[in-house]
């Protein structure tokens, strides 16, 4: 369970903030915006198994990443074989796959923000950051809550990346709760224990979802 929480801490903050930043940039009137949307969204339509295999090649001892490090005279890193790097390396795949998906959710929400509020900010002399802190974020707070909840659930039930890239290793450093449930159920045939763990996971996911909603929409649910 500890590795699952670590995975959540690594992936969720990035998946909530970076797609929002990209959505705000792409929502501007810039040339070739459709091409940028397509390029950013492409990882979403790539099979998670294909993505995991591709990153596994990148992370190998003789892979591209270690080759680039060797050009900088840096010793190769065991991205998937070192307990310090394995969980982080797998989380990168989840982040890479999710950025485009969450960016499109943010983009659809940004279209509902009244443009006259931005014009009022321009008249008042607000800069780019001030406009989005005072106008954009308050208006799309329900969407931020949605993205935070979805990304949290996705991070807590991550399985395919772990199964393809590390099998929970090295030394269980990347073994998440869902992979452990799979291991107990289909390798050890301990279906009762695996079912109990699945129920516990369901309860934990529900608690985290409730916390997300209450934190991001506390004004709406202030009386709870």
Q: CATH number, domain at 22?
A: 1.10.3720.10
Q: How large is the average pLDDT for residues 23-49?
A: 89
Model confidence pTM above 0.85: yes
| Tally of domains in the chain | 1
Is the omega angle on the peptide bond into residue 69 within 30 degrees of 0, that is, cis? no
Helix axes 48-59, 64-71, angle to 10 degrees: 30
**119 occurs within a structural domain:** yes
- pLDDT confidence of residue 220: 57
- pLDDT confidence of residue 159: 93
Does residue 10 contact residue 2 with C-beta atoms inside 8 Å? Answer: no
pLDDT tens-digit map of 56-100: 999 998 889 999 999 999 999 999 999 999 999 999 999 999 999
d(CA 135, CA 115): 10
- pLDDT confidence of residue 217: 62
**223 occurs within a structural domain:** no
Question: For residue 193, what are the domain limits?
Answer: 2-216
Round to the nearest angstrom and report the end-to-end CA distance of the chain.
Answer: 29
Give, in order, the Cα–Cα distances in Å from 193 to each of 17, 206, 215.
37, 20, 33
pLDDT tens-digit map of 132-148: 888 899 889 889 988 99
pLDDT tens-digit map of 182-208: 999 998 999 999 999 999 999 999 998
For the chain, what is the total number of helices (H) and then of strands (E)?
12, 0
**224 occurs within a structural domain:** no
**22 occurs within a structural domain:** yes
């Amino acid at each position: 369970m500890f590795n699952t929480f670590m995975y959540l801490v690594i992936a969720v903050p990035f998946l909530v903030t970076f797609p929002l930043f990209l959505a705000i940039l792409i929502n501007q009137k810039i040339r070739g915006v459709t091409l940028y949307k397509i390029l950013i969204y492409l990882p979403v339509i790539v099979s998670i198994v294909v993505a995991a295999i591709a990153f596994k090649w990148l992370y190998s001892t003789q892979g591209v990443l270690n080759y680039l490090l060797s050009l900088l005279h840096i010793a190769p890193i065991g991205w998937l074989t070192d307990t310090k790097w394995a969980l982080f390396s797998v989380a990168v795949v989840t982040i890479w796959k999710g950025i485009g998906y969450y960016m499109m959710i943010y983009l659809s929400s940004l279209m509902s923000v009244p443009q006259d509020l931005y014009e009022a900010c321009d008249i008042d002399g607000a800069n780019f950051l001030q406009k989005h802190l005072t106008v954009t974020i308050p208006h799309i707070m329900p969407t931020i809550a949605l993205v935070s909840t979805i990304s949290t659930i996705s991070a807590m039930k991550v399985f395919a990346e772990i199964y393809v890239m590390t099998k929970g290793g090295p030394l269980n450093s990347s073994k998440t709760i869902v992979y452990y449930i799979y291991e107990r159920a289909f390798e050890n045939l301990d279906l009762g224990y695996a079912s109990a763990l699945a129920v516990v996971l369901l309860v934990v996911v529900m608690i985290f979802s409730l916390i997300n909603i209450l934190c991001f929409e506390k004004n709406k649910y202030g009386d709870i």
